[in-house]
Amino acid sequence: MTGRAAAARPTKATRPSRAARGWQSLFTAHPARTVVTGFSAVILLGTVLLMLPAASEDGSSADFVTALFTSTSAVCVTGLVVVDTGTYWSGFGEGVVLALFQVGGFGIMTMASLLGLLISGKLGLRMQLTAQAETKSLGIGDVRKVLLGVAGCTLMVELAVGAVLALRLRFGYGESIWDASYLGFFHAVSAFNNAGFGLHADSLTRYAQDPWVTLPVAVAVILGGIGFPVLLELLRHRRRRQLTGRRRWSLHFRLTVLTTAILLALGTVLTCALEWGNDGTLGPFDWHKKILAGFFHSAMSRTAGFNSVDIGAMTDATLLMTCMLMFVGGGSAGTAGGIKVSTFAVLGAAMLAEVRGEPHSGVMGRKLAPHVLRQALTVALAGVGFVMTATLALLVVVDKPFEQVLFEAVSAFGTVGLSTGITADLPTVGRLIVIVLMFVGRLGPVTLVSALALRERTRRYQLPEERPVIG
**pLDDT reading at 345 higher than 80:** yes
Per the model's pLDDT, the better-predicted residue between 332 and 454 turns out to be 332
SS3 367: strand
- Please say whether the beta carbons of 410 and 326 come within 8 A: yes
Winning range, highest mean pLDDT, from 27-36, 259-268, 373-382: 259-268
pLDDT at position 11 is 53
SS3 471: coil
Per the model's pLDDT, the better-predicted residue between 241 and 57 turns out to be 57
Q: Give CA–CA dist 298/321, Å, rounded.
A: 10
Q: For 158-169, write each residue's pLDDT tens digit.
A: 999 999 999 999
Per the model's pLDDT, the better-predicted residue between 145 and 224 turns out to be 224
Q: For 206-256, write each residue's pLDDT tens digit.
A: 999 999 999 999 999 999 888 877 887 887 776 555 555 556 788 888 899
- Please say whether the beta carbons of 92 and 54 come within 8 A: yes
Tally of CA atoms within 13 A in the half-sphere of 35 that contains its CB: 31
Mean pLDDT of 414-432: 93
Mean pLDDT of 313-333: 92
Span of 2-16, 193-207, 326-340, 373-387 with lowest mean pLDDT: 2-16
Q: Give CA–CA dist 405/414, Å, rounded.
A: 14
**pLDDT reading at 185 higher than 80:** yes
- For the chain, percent of residues with pLDDT exceeding 70: 79
pLDDT at position 20 is 45
CB-count burial class (<10 Å; 0-12, 13-18, 19+) for 458: exposed
Per the prediction, the chain carries an average pLDDT of 83
pLDDT at position 462 is 77
List all residues 6 or more positions away from 155 whose beta carbon is below 8 Å from its beta carbon. none
**pLDDT reading at 5 higher than 60:** no
Per the model's pLDDT, the better-predicted residue between 206 and 362 turns out to be 206
The pTM (predicted TM-score) of the whole model is: 0.85
- Please say whether the beta carbons of 191 and 304 come within 8 A: yes
Span of 5-14, 31-40, 311-320, 388-397 with lowest mean pLDDT: 5-14
SS3 61: coil
pLDDT at position 246 is 55
List all residues 6 or more positions away from 41 whose beta carbon is below 8 Å from its beta carbon. 108
27 — pLDDT class (breaks 50, 70, 90) = very low
Q: For 76-101, write each residue's pLDDT tens digit.
A: 999 999 999 989 999 999 999 999 99
**pLDDT reading at 129 higher than 60:** no
Per the model's pLDDT, the better-predicted residue between 443 and 348 turns out to be 348
Domain segments of the chain: what residues?
Answer: 28-451
365 Rama class: left (phi>0) / alpha (psi -120 to 50) / beta: left
Element at 363 (helix H, strand E)? strand 362-363
- Compute CA distances 442 → 101, 136, 412, whole Å: 12, 15, 9
Tally of CA atoms within 13 A in the half-sphere of 459 that contains its CB: 3
**pLDDT reading at 403 higher than 50:** yes
- For the chain, percent of residues with pLDDT exceeding 90: 55
Mean pLDDT of 347-359: 87
List all residues 6 or more positions away from 142 whose beta carbon is below 8 Å from its beta carbon. none
454 — pLDDT class (breaks 50, 70, 90) = very low
Span of 62-71, 140-149, 351-360 with lowest mean pLDDT: 140-149
